[in-house]
Structure 1
Amino acid sequence: MTTTYTPPKQGAKVIIVGGGSFGLSTAYALSLKKYNVWVFDRNTIPSADASSTDINKCVRMDYGADTLSMQLTMEAFPHWHQWNRERAEMGLSPVFHNTGSLLLCKGNKLSDYERLSIQHVREAGYGHTIQEFLTPESITERFPEFKDAVASGYHCAYLNTAAGWCDSSETIKHLYKKCLDNGVHFITGYNQGAFEKFIFNNIDNQTVQGIQTRDGTQHVADHVILAAGPWTASLLDFGGRLQATGQAVIQFKPPQAFIEKFKHAPVYGIDISHTGFYGFPINAEGKMKIASHSVGYVNPWQQQEKNSEDNVSVPRTQVSHQGDTIPVKAVHHFRQILAEFMPETSNWDISYSRVCWYSDTPDGKFLVTPHPNYNNLIVASGDSGHAMKFTPNIGFKIAQVVEGIESDYSRAWAWRDHKGDMMTSSDGTRNITSKPLTLGVGEARMASADDLKSKQKSKL
């Protein structure tokens, strides 16, 4: 039965399940409005297996036809710069690194994604951030570190000078501190902080009155926000509106000569609308990350729980499966793309790899909405691989949904039905041409240490 949403009253107690990007940002926004905010997470913050616990994430406004996400990033930029000022006052490193983002394309013309991005960025008044490089010579003159890519046919590109990357783990730490300073309460840990089930009103069994944690303790609240990232789909039946998918991420530790050559590099896309691959500058620890934004992998619940009747995908992480890497298929795909784009990497071992988990929606848009079947329950999920760049300001948009304030964002992220069984990309950067493979099975088996070594180097 469909319910009618009633926003919380000023000062009401709000429980947030999940202390990641969405959860912390929402907690901070609601604390500014003087709600009594409590955040629950099964791990200490930053959570070791959260997608946000990483060395870097891309911060870009380039979103193809998805102008709403473009606008949301434009609103985020002043917050990122303010957070850098706050960090400087504390003697800490920046969380946002304004390196620019260079999108390289195979062939002699930009793809539809790049052309639409440029058009909409200019129409929004940010044309001064766009620099086009439409000949091979113009790319190598400005970015000599990509001369091998140009030689392999990446003959045009454009740079957005406003973009860059964030130190995502430090971003979460910074926001966590802001929440603590503002009076947000945290209960964390495997037993006392882990969500087990909702507490319902016994009369109608539709009104959420709080949560019960794994230790059996019941915590009452006026409203509950479910912001558990890729775990969200396993906590409640969403009718296929959410699915956890894993994406492959690798790191190299390049030799010093390459570090010197690459020290001024921007974030870069490797013909991203066709391949889904993108990479980052080398960080202060000498680590270079490259990631794949694709259909990904699933880990069906049935693979873990033999008696389970459902087939919901749940994250499989290095916390629960120590020694996990990435699927062998992903290793081969990375090596294939990079052999052409950045051939020096063929001589390097992959120093680290992980599966980064998304909470996917079929259309690639967020799901931030009151649940239509339960009173006092708000869903804040469906990041679809796009959450981190919005960390400083997404909470303000979610807070508006909590308070019943309608906007372009609330309408786009509302509860909605979906057609078909294939995901789509909201902005054109995600390479979705098939259904996700099941993690650990066949060519999606986890790569061994030997699989991560350079086969090219072993031939020398």
Structure 2
Amino acid sequence: MAHDTSSSASPSFTAPSTLLIIGSGVFGLSTAYALTRRPEWQSTQITVLDRAGGSAPSFPENPVFPARDASSIDSSRIIRADYADPAYAALASAAQYAWRQPGPDSIGGEGRYTETGFVLVADDEPPRVRNARGLEVKSGMGFARDAYANALAHARQAGRGDDGDWVQLLDNRAAIAKATTTGAELGDWGYLNRGSGWANAERAMAWLYERVEGTGRVKFVRGTVDKLEIDAGQRKVVGAKLMNGQSMRAELVVVAAGAWTPSLVDLRGQAVATGQVLGYMDITPEEQARLGQAPVLMNLTSGTFLIPPSNNVLKVGLHGYGYQNPKKVTSCLTVPKPTSISAFNDQEQFFPEISVSQPLTHLDDPTLWMPASGERALRKGLRAMVPWPSVADRPFTANRVCWYTDTPTGDFLVAYHPYWSGLFLATGGSGHGFKFLPVLGEHIADSIMGKCTPILKDKWAWKEVTDVERSIVTEDGSRGGQAGLILQTELRKNGPRI
């Protein structure tokens, strides 16, 4: 893991005696690991709390962490520095350096990371378009062109030249079809970055979990949080109450619960849980041999992507606007209205009934199958990316609804809560957090200690929201599909499998 503990913390910072991290996914686990490596935290009792998650072969000794339906647990994730935003491109480039290191002591070693290249394309459209609210936002083409410029800049910095060998422009459909290796005219314009690839997400998380556990500094607790516990008079979060009635107290609470975070802390207007569809199908050894050598493929206009298969299983995904699953909850810690701020004994005022999009996963319903609308989008994307009759119409054998924590801009939310002391948020991955796993914890630790870089501090800051009812749509140019879909409504439309 890449790390830097040389810089000092804010002069006013003192590490808490006890720390509770809620969530053991990318944000939570990487933060725990980073803090164990810092001398300021040597005396801090660190606890990581997460839900029960069933069992899996890669976790024979500990079947819980991360939870089995966390977004970080899957067969594969794209690892790329291909960003329209220079700050994320630079951060991802640093993460890729760590992913590329070989050997058992590297997160990407022993086959956990594979550098196959990445074909990123978009359909013919202006770089900026108007959204449903009439605001001008970046389009898929705009994202692709800006990402190409950043990819070229990083290739030059790495000494990989300007001859197109490392980052190759694909300015027509024929060039794209050749680069995909599947013969797919996937879009109108794009590029091939040979320095990107994919990681086995579950194996990488298992590697990190073993490193955290090996420090002997972190206590892992299995449990489901009912709600945060507060000292209303002090305006302070003091711990978490579990569904079984148990209380867990800590001087500082970090909520890094992914798509479950908005059910614990009121994030209306700035973060929302959205379900994204993934489809899997069995392929033959011959198809594995051909597709296994292909680059990662993604069309930013449609949002569909394909990661090279492993073990004769092909995965197709949709990086889209997602499905929301609104439910009434009374578990969400809010900020009281000025008229009731003095009624500190009435704790119910801090947990009013509000509507929150909540994840629905295969652990809630083992029979859950993605909405037909999502399956149609995956099928269309598959036919565009692998135009082989033997594969294009083959039924999906498995599926998953993967839950993002989306923000309007796609920026993470890594900051102290502005009202409740003792509460720090590390969430808002917006479907692109996993690739930063080798470096993210260090930056979150910096943020906790008051020494985050100014550019990341600004991007990851708590946002003041004037309209909590406004539907969140991530409009950074990387999404496709239809916005505003409700999961339960779409599930009721499901007909015969495609």
Pick the TM interval, shorter chain.
0.7 to 0.9
1:53 match: 73
Indicate how the Cα distance of structure 1 residues 155 and 238 shifts in structure 2: closer, same or farther if over 3 A, else same. closer
TM-score normalised over the length of structure 2: 0.79
**1:75 Cα shift?**
1.4
Distance 1:348 1:245, change over 3 A: same
Larger helix proportion, structure 1 or 2?
1
List per-residue Cα deviations over 1:106-153 (Å, max 9, x = no partner).
Answer: 46999322221111223342564412233455445554x321x22xx7
Aligned partners of 1:108 and 1:156 also within 8 Å: no
Counting only pairs closer than 5 Å after superposition, residues 359-378 of structure 1 correspond to structure 2 as 359-378=405-424
2:208 corresponds to 1:175: yes
Q: Does 2:179 match 1:134?
A: no
The answer on whether the counterparts of 1:331 and 1:447 sit within 8 Å (CA) in structure 2 is: no
- Percent of counterpart pairs with the same letter? 28
Q: Which residue of 2 aligns with 1:101?
A: 118
The CA distance in 2 between the partners of 1:339 and 1:432, in whole Å, is 16
**Structure 1 residues 7 and 23, CA, compared in 2 at 3 Å: closer, same or farther?**
farther
Matched with 1:86 is 104
Match of 2:245 in 1: 216
Query: Is the alpha carbon distance of 1:426 and 1:87 closer, same or farther for their aligned partners in structure 2, counting shifts above 3 Å?
Result: farther
Cα pair 2:329 2:353 within 8 Å, conserved = no
Instruction: Give the corresponding residue for 1:342.
Output: 386
CA distance in 2: counterparts of 1:445 and 1:303, whole angstroms: 22
Deviation at 1:103, TM superposition (A): 1.6
Aligned to 1:122: 152
Secondary structure at 1:394's aligned position in 2? helix
Is the aligned partner of 1:434 residue 2:434? no
The answer to whether residue 460 in structure 2 is matched with residue 413 in structure 1 is yes
| Residue 62 (str. 1) matches residue 82 (str. 2) | yes
Q: Aligned to 1:71, which of 80, 90, 96? A: 90
AA partner of residue 440 (structure 2)? I
For structure 1, the 5+ residue unaligned runs are 453-460
Aligned length: 429
1:328 is matched by which residue type in structure 2?
A: A
Q: Which residue of the partner structure matches residue 381 of structure 1?
A: 427
Separation in 1, partners of 2:493, 2:115? 35
Distance (whole Å) between structure 1 residues aligned to residue 107 and residue 306 of structure 2: 30
Q: Which residue of 2 aligns with 1:24?
A: 29
Q: Is the 8 A contact 1:210 1:218 kept in 2?
A: yes
Deviations, residues 166-215 of structure 1 (Å, cap 9, x unaligned): 111111111111111112423333xxx2222333336x241222223233
Cα contact 2:151–2:193 (8 A) shared by 1: no
Which secondary structure state, in structure 2, belongs to the residue aligned with residue 378 of structure 1? strand
Q: 1:205 to 1:63 in 2, by over 3 A?
A: same
1:39 paired with 2:39, answer: no
Looking at structure 1, the residues matched to 385 and 96 of structure 2 have their Cα atoms a distance apart, in angstroms, of 30
CA pair 217-7 structure 1, distance change in 2 beyond 3 A: farther
Partner of residue 182 from structure 2, selected from 142, 146, 150: 146
Alignment match, 2:198 = 165
1:425/1:432 contact within 8 Å kept: no
Whole-Å separation in 1 of the counterparts to 2:290 and 2:93: 31
Return the offset for 1:250.
Answer: 0.6
**Deviation of residue 445 (structure 1)?**
3.3
Relative distance call for 1:198 and 1:304 in structure 2 (3 A) is closer
Partner amino acid, structure 1, of 2:120 = L
Q: Matched residue of 1:275: which SS?
A: coil
CA distance in 2, matches of 1:47, 1:231: 12
Give me the whole-angstrom Cα distance separating, in 2, the residues matched to 1:201 and 1:422. Answer: 31
**1:378 corresponds to which letter in structure 2?**
F
| 3-state SS in 1 of match to 2:73 | coil
